[in-house]
Structure 1
Amino acid sequence: MGVLEGTVEVALLGSPNTGKSSLFNRLTGLSAATGNYPGVTVTRSRGTARTPSGSVTVTDLPGTYSLEPASPDEEVVLDHLEGRLESDAAPDALLVVLDSTTLFRSLGLCAEALALGHPTAVVLTMVDELRARGGDVDVTALSRALGVPVVETVAHRGRGIEDVRELLDAAASWPVALIPPPCDDDAQLRGWIRSVLDSARYRVPGSSVATSRIDRVLLHPVWGSLVFLAVMFGFFQVIFTVAAPIQDAVQGVFDHWGELAATNLGSGFFADFVGTALIGGVGGVLVFLPQIMLLYLMISVLEAVGYMSRAAFLMDRIMARSGLDGRAFVAMLSSTACAVPGIMATRTMPSSRDRIATIMSAPLMTCSARLPVYLVLIALLVPDDARLGPFSMQGAALFAMYLLGGLASLTVARVFKATLLRRGALPFYLEMPPYRLPTLRGILRAVWVPVWMFVRKVGTIILVVTAVLWVLINFPAREAETARMDEAAAQSYVMENSFAGAAGKAVEPVFEPLGFDWRVDIGLIGSFAAREVFVSTMGQVAAAEDPEDPGDALRQLTHTHGPHQGAQVFTAPTIVALMLFFAFAMQCVSTLATMRRETNSWKWPALAVAYMFVLAYGTAWLGHWITGLVIS
């Protein structure tokens, strides 16, 4: 029986872009949980689907075009269906999801599923699209031809979901194919598919006129590339312009909470901890939540309408220069949200050498953890009112940093493919889905999951590291030395002579060529746990400089001499060097752990740390030197 005692477990099988995950989400709602298979790192989702007389456990398997494994994902799918995975028994029944607009291709996977001998049923998706484009299928006749139940749905619109629930209610009594399809012989299999389609009176849909017209532009090698660049440029303009007023409102909330803490808690270490470490530190990262939400919103919309497949097709030509293909672009694009899912996305790549090359280069893509750091540094470097015509120069600078990450990732992949990972290329096939209007439900779900992960990260890792750094910045206490100082001078003195100050000064000789002083080094040390910690640490440093107005203190550290050593902390060369260092350095423990799991070795993560540090240090030094020459 299923994972939940007394329930039937049904495995959801289908190719990518068939609407399988939309169907799963509709059936299970918020009851679904995502995790790895026992003993392996391939992700699956499992949830409970309500049925008329009870419930069924549904497992959403990774999308696959065939049960002849060509990648780790596809291998795990077959192992799951045949019950070969440790602590994960074979499913009780199998629900095959088929795209009705591509039935000739989809029935190949259906034939392999029927040949396994599991109780099976079929769900036809995209039936609205099929008929809108002049196609048709007799669902009852198709059911007779396959020998299993068949229902039709439009999963992303929620149509036909109740029919699927009724079908799942009888999962324990679904039939097994009496005569398995001839999967061992390609010619016989094609003949079987044609006979099934003839029996179902299947009429092939015509191509979408709108899709064809749009693709003439978007897939054009010149115009399509220009549109892609324009879309990406506009992407980052929106992040700065649209999110700014929302960010100000969020900042106002945390400022108000800080004032309440100061009023009600008075002075002392506890009050300073709450106001500086908790509200100031964590709030200093959460104020960038509007930009993070916009980032995921725009990515999910572009993916839902079908543009990302076109972008992968366009990028395939460019990826070929790095020795990879469009499959790697999908993984790298995922890394703009977070390197962890980007690295995990390489499981769909059949070539192990291509997988490792992509894994080694994906962390260079600009992820959402870098976004708060870039936003702070760009705001310090580029004035708010700096514009080039109608375009914000701050948005242009952010676009440049994302472009830099992409170019660096491709270059590193090229180096690995030309040296340690030569050969291994396989043919690349990409399905172009028709353009579709996204649903609000689908977009909200796509945005909610990663945004919640970001908030949870702020509430756990960043909170803990920020609290530890607050302790290190404020201890050991120096009451005797600071007794006659005013509050600002006392806090600055304590910070300079604290444990954190000692650590910053200890590594200062290493980073001094990059223009980083010991205060910046404190933030840099914390950032190796999570990049966003740099933002909260600089907030604490600024609070130590001016407890009354940390924001003004941070600006003073940029534009005038700080109170210590007569040094200007954030000069233009230093800001450029910091941005380049954060662009290339490995500063994410989760990414390293994922690399270790995916490569099954510490060799590749260790190599990634080493080459990325050398790259970060070298480019930061070069950027500092060149910027100094330009402005001198």
Structure 2
Amino acid sequence: MNRRIALVGNPNSGKTTLFNALTGLRQKVGNYPGITVERKEGTVPLPDGSSVTLIDLPGLYSLTPQSPDEQIARDILLGYRDDTPQPEAIVNVVDASNLERNLYLTSQLADLGLPLIVVLTMGDTAARRGVEVDAEALSRELGLPVIPLHAASRAGLSELKNALVSPPPVPPRRRWQLPVTVEEEAEELAALLTSQHQLSPETAFSEAVLLLGTPVAPKTTRWSPEILAHLHGDHERLTREGHDTTTAIAEARYGEINRIAQIVIRRAETPPTTKTERLDRLFLHKFWGYVIFLGILSILFQAMFTWAEVPKGWLESGIAALSGGIQKVMPAGALRDLLTEGVLSGVGTTITFLPQILLLFLFIALLEDTGYLARAAFLMDRLMSRVGLHGKSFIPLLSSYACAIPGILATRTIESHKARLLTILVAPLMSCSARLPVYSLLIAAFIPRTTLVGFHVGGHEFALLTVQGATLFSMYALGTLATFLMAALFNRTLLKSEPPSFLLELPPYRKPIWRTLGFRLWETAWQFLQRAGTVILALSTLLWFLASYPKAPAETPKGTAMERSYAGQLGHAIEPVIAPLGFDWKMGIGVVASFAAREVFVSTMAILYQAESDDEEQQTTALKDRLGAEKLPDGSPAYTPLVAVCLMVFYVLAMQCISTLAVVKRETNSWKWPLFQLAYMTFLAWFVTFLVHSIGKALGY
């Protein structure tokens, strides 16, 4: 069985780049059971023909966890997770340009008593700052192998692989010492942990120091009541005697770290002005910083709305060709209909989102790898924090204009659990591109082209803003406003918390490593297809069944067959609920059918009003005419400008997307949150639409 080695390091230390360089495509990505923290493992072939399993643990600054990611990393290193054995050795990635801060984690890892190798990265960044680290001297002072490495050029990889052939050495006994009273309490608590919980002496002492360094005894079932009571007594005694254990432990560690740093670091007498400092003067400027930021976002918008259309068209054509091929080779029947109208229609629609997702993650990965994403989060934090969101919420919310799915996946960059969940809950309120067909149809059919702002030249009128354009803009504005209002509401009630703290390291600007980007895009594509496909397949099959059964005679018109189907019956059943909104049962069918994807509303209406055509433009024209001519039983028009606006308002606010619910379920690892999301957005859509319809009727519209 392969030895299991943990790859551990601070965020932005080059750890993930090293993992990809060592494992290549020999890696698998999943989630730790019961949580959404990403789990990455890979196989590293070694020069002697053997191999080891490398576990890429989430980045962390210390073994005192501040986020779910850090908690997972700590528990694995201490051997507390049943699903993941304690690693047999550790490869600790240390950033040479921030040596003192990185060595704090190294000090904690050394206490665990596990074999340890230190990999020194970012030597080029340190050199640009006028800093040089003597790797041999650092190895002597730590008593551990220290391997300088440059992952981009792959220099040092062979030395690291050779070092992994044999088990690395166990760290020497610690040199740093705590104040006498604190040291005694730590030793006593470690002895109790060893006797009652069968921990190794090294793990027990490491855990004792971590527990004593936490101001409040943890609420956990991991330790016996006697251990917790003893820990509580230790805290009271040390506090009563004037010991600040958190500070004492940090000072003891940093005392040894500073001693080592003075020996191994050589600094230039006059540190040069770095490229990062020069660029930050521009990118973080109070005015130009925001101008550049908006320019970058404009490019992102352009990519999400237009650049993805070509590959998306290829996928749509491929799915259409596959559907046509199935129709040619399979005899007519329920199985063929299931495959073409259920599986390919539902899952196929989801797959067509893949180009947008890959483009989004390519942009985010480029911004992250170059160091700019941290600056964008810094710029937007002040606005986001006012409604309980995090600075890093901005990019996920922005990308939700194209599609909420990649927006929700992008929330993984948010460390705070509550801020991440809050972003997930409100992201679908941003008007995605799937709503555009609904807006386009209803605005073109029922909203006048009256010019609001324009000018005349040579007897010709040039419109800068029409009622139609203002209506479309108002739909996007409504979704954005609802997003921030609901975030503020949830932050003060359901997810009540203090304003999220925003401590962010601004990494140096770097050139992206394209090989690493390729790995990340491959992971993203595979995870998306795995995460969303299974749930969407099941729900799409259910929707197909509801819209297709009970089967009507072959000569029955499609519109009548749809009305008699279970979906049609459902439309009639919900008519009393949607009637106060100005909707009839046919609109109800459209609402139900478009739950698979919002744009399905247009094709559903085309079937109901028998306006289908192979030519999309002819179908749209015919459908607009049929909708305009539709009458209610009392002879009044079924569709009016007010009804059209109400339909659009409903689609702005309602959760009409199976794909999004499936991804929310996967990302939160629970049905509780997607069901809550479905409930609150449906109620919000109904209530606001009811207000719009009632006010419109009262005003004579």
Common fold by TM > 0.5: yes
Q: Is the aligned partner of 1:579 residue 2:651? A: yes
Alignment of structure 1 residues 174-213 onto 2, 5 Å: 174-182=169-177, 185-203=249-267, 206=271, 209-213=274-278
Larger Rg: 2
Query: Which residue of the partner structure matches residue 161 of structure 1?
Result: 157
Distance 1:326 1:456 in 2: 29
2:21 maps to a residue whose letter is R
Counterparts of 1:207 and 1:398 in 2: how far apart (Å)? Answer: 52
Quote the residue 2:566 is aligned against: 499
Residues 1:239 and 1:84: Cα distance change in structure 2 (over 3 Å): closer
The 5 Å alignment of 1:6-155 reads 6-38=1-33, 41-53=36-48, 54-155=50-151
CA contact (8 A) 1:136 1:203 kept: yes
**Mapping for residues 532-551 of structure 1, pairs under 5 Å:** 532-535=596-599, 539=603, 542=606, 545=610, 549=614, 551=616
Identity %: 33
Cα drift, residue 106 of structure 1: 1.0
Distance 1:407 1:97, change over 3 A: farther
The yes-or-no answer on 1:365 pairing with 2:427 is yes
1:407 Cα shift?
Answer: 5.2
**How far does the alpha carbon of each residue in 1:81-118 deviate from its partner, in whole angstroms, 9 at most, with x for none?**
11122243321111111111111211111111112221
Give the match for residue 448 of structure 2.
none
Equivalences for residues 311-326 of structure 1 within 5 A? 311-323=376-388, 325-326=390-391
Contact kept in structure 2, 1:261 and 1:275, CA below 8 Å: yes
CA deviations over 1:328-348 (Å, ceiling 9, x no partner): 6688679855576566655x3
Following TM superposition, by how much is the alpha carbon of 1:411 offset from its aligned partner in structure 2, in angstroms? 3.3
Secondary structure of the residue that 2:267 maps to in structure 1? coil
Secondary structure in 2 matching 1:44: strand
1:301 and 2:373 are equivalent in the alignment: no
Mapped to 2, the partners of 1:30 and 1:362 lie a distance apart of 30
Return the offset for 1:147.
Answer: 1.0
Note if contact 2:360-2:406 (Cα within 8 Å) is conserved in structure 1: no
Aligned 8 A contact 2:362 2:517 in 1: yes
SS of equivalent to 1:122 = strand
Gaps of 5+ in 2: 179-247, 445-450, 455-461, 633-637
* Structure 1: gaps spanning 5 or more residues: 1-5, 350-354
CA distance, structure 2, for counterparts of residue 281 and residue 23 of structure 1: 39
The 1:456–1:10 alpha-carbon spacing in structure 2 relative to 1, beyond 3 Å, is: closer
Query: Paired residue for 1:618?
Result: 687
1:356 aligns to 2:351 (yes or no): no
Residue of structure 2 equivalent to 1:3: none
Task: Note the alpha carbon deviations across 1:400-429, whole angstroms, 9 max, x for none.
Answer: 878766654443343344456656457532
Structure-1 separation of matches of 2:505 and 2:398 = 17
Q: What TM-score do you get using the length of structure 1 for normalisation?
A: 0.81
- Hey, what's the Cα distance between the residues in 2 that align with 1:175 and 1:65? 22
Q: Does 1:448 align with 2:522?
A: yes
> Structure 1 44/291 Cα, relative in aligned 2: closer, same or farther at 3 Å?
closer
After TM superposition, list the pairs within 5 Å mapping 1:154-303 onto structure 2. Answer: 154-170=150-166, 172-182=167-177, 185-203=249-267, 206=271, 209-265=274-330, 269=334, 271-303=336-368
| Deviation readout 1:515-566 (Å, 9 max, x if unpaired) | 5554554454466xxx654445765664674665384686257522159767
Give, in angstroms, the shift of residue 380 of structure 1: 3.9
Q: Give, in whole Å, the separation in 1 of the partners of 2:52 and 2:473.
A: 46
Partners of 1:421 and 1:473 lie apart in 2 by 38
CA offsets, 1:58-94, max 9 Å, x none?
A: 1111111111223333233222211122243321111
Aligned 1:367-382 pairs, distance under 5 A: 371=432, 373-377=434-438, 380=441
1:162: how far off? 2.5
CA distances 1:22-44 after superposition (whole Å, capped 9, x unpaired)? 21122222332233435655433
CA distance in 2: counterparts of 1:334 and 1:83, whole angstroms:
39
AA in 2 matched with 1:23: L
Cα distance change, pair 200–40 in 1 and its aligned pair in 2 (3 A): same
Deviation of 1:430 after TM superposition, in Å, equals 0.8
For 1:185, what is the secondary structure of its paired residue?
Answer: helix
- Give the aligned partner of residue 232 of structure 2: none
In structure 2, relative to structure 1, the CA distance for the partners of 1:358 and 1:47 (3 Å cut) is closer
SS in structure 1 opposite 2:147?
A: strand
Counterpart secondary structure, 2:296 = helix
Q: 504, 509, 512: which one pairs with 2:576?
A: 509
Distance 1:589 1:201, change over 3 A: closer
Is the Cα–Cα contact under 8 Å of residues 117 and 176 in structure 1 kept in the other structure? yes
Deviations 1:145-192 (A, max 9, x none): 11111112222454432222222222x242322335458533343332
Name the count of aligned residue pairs: 603
